[in-house]
Amino acid sequence: MKKEYPILEFDSNTKSVIDPTILIKPIDIPIKAVICFFNDVLEDLRVKGKVRLIQNIRTEIGPNPIYELEYLGEKVTVFHPGVGAPLAAGMFEEVIALGARKFIACGGAGVLDEKVAVGHVIVPTSAIRDEGTSYHYISPSREISVDKVGVEAIEKVLTKHKCKYILSKTWTTDAIYRETYDKVKLRKTEGCLAVEMECSAFCAVANFRDVIFAQILYGGDLVDCEEWDARDWNNQTEIRERIFWLAVEACLEL
């Protein structure tokens, strides 16, 4: 098993010492789930009484609420997974163990091309695995594909709402403060339009656990420039709300 670099020591034995089912018992939870990175949107739903708390998942950070949302007569699980691949993948694992099976995530991302305006929708069809978590789930590879069924559900809803979108590759990184100039250039040549911190890890977990996963991103800060341009990307409440409801609808299509 030993390789030159530990991250490449993939173990194909699917049994782990701590299986999520040891800690989490399945409950009556909607199998369709929206993974929402927008805490502002979730907090607004909570304050307005539009979500019901199903259960708190506990980590050393504190309680992480898992909600139920009713939309058009159907129930959906909704939760924030935390930021960064290891935490988000762990939360994803635990919500799968609770009983959810069909996932759509919504989040923001840096963009690698100034032509992608703030708020423009990007639907990843594949992700570059520039993070560590996915290497513990599936054998090493440069990229991972996003579930076609999930992508099609998203496209159907975006088309229905006449919302313009770009299908693209995303760059999933572990190190937000090490998005270097040459790496941005390289990822551009590989076809990436977005950079975020979870997509390829989510895809690997979904693959491993045999659940459906796809993601809607909106264009945020610009990283393809001499001086970083934040473009006020995380204060776009209206855009974030809109993307969230599109994710809910896409999830209901699954």
- Supply the minimum distance, in Å, between the C-beta of residue 173 and ligand URA: 6
3-state DSSP: the chain helix, strand, coil percent, rounded to 5?
Answer: 35, 30, 35
- Residue 174 in contact with ligand R1P, rule: CB under 6 A: no
Element of type H or E holding 75: strand 74-79
Of 2 and 178, CB closest to ligand URA: 178
- Is the CB of residue 94 less than 8 Å from the CB of residue 25? no
Quote the longest CA-to-CA distance of the chain.
54
- Supply the minimum distance, in Å, between the C-beta of residue 38 and ligand URA: 13
By CB atoms closer than 10 A (0-12, 13-18, 19+), residue 77 is buried
Amino acid, res. 175: A
Interacting partner of 223 out of ligand R1P, ligand URA, none (Cβ under 5 to 8 A depending on kind)? ligand URA
Of 53 and 176, CB closest to ligand URA: 176
Taking alpha carbons only, the member of 29, 31, 30, 42 closest to residue 245 is 42
List phi, psi (to 5°) of 129.
-85, 65
- Residue 167 in contact with ligand R1P, rule: CB under 6 A: no
| Per-residue H/E/C for 142-204 | CEEECCHHHHHHHHHHHHHCCCCEEEEEEEEECCHHHCCHHHHHHHHHCCEEEEECCHHHHHH
Contact with ligand R1P (CB under 6 A) among 93, 179, 196, 249 = 196
Q: Which stretch binds ligand R1P (CB under 6 A): 4-12, 65-73, 107-115, 152-160?
A: 107-115
- Residue 197 in contact with ligand R1P, rule: CB under 6 A: yes
Interacting partner of 179 out of ligand R1P, ligand URA, none (Cβ under 5 to 8 A depending on kind)? ligand URA
Taking alpha carbons only, the member of 213, 217, 159, 241 closest to residue 32 is 213
Interacting partner of 150 out of ligand URA, ligand R1P, none (Cβ under 5 to 8 A depending on kind)? none
**Chain position whose Cβ is nearest to ligand R1P:** 107
- Residue 201 in contact with ligand R1P, rule: CB under 6 A: no
Interacting partner of 37 out of ligand URA, ligand R1P, none (Cβ under 5 to 8 A depending on kind)? ligand R1P
CA quadruple 240, 246, 250, 252: dihedral positive or negative? positive
Interacting partner of 195 out of ligand URA, ligand R1P, none (Cβ under 5 to 8 A depending on kind)? ligand URA
Q: How many helical (H) and strand (E) elements, i.e. helices and strands, does the chain have?
A: 7, 10
Which residues bind to ligand URA, rule: CB under 6 A? 109-110, 173, 176, 179, 195-197, 220-221, 223
- Residue 83 in contact with ligand R1P, rule: CB under 6 A: yes
Annotate each residue in 109-128 with x if it binds ligand R1P (CB under 6 A) or - if it does not, as one string: x-------------------
Chain residues in the site for ligand R1P (CB under 6 A): 37, 83, 107-109, 176, 196-198
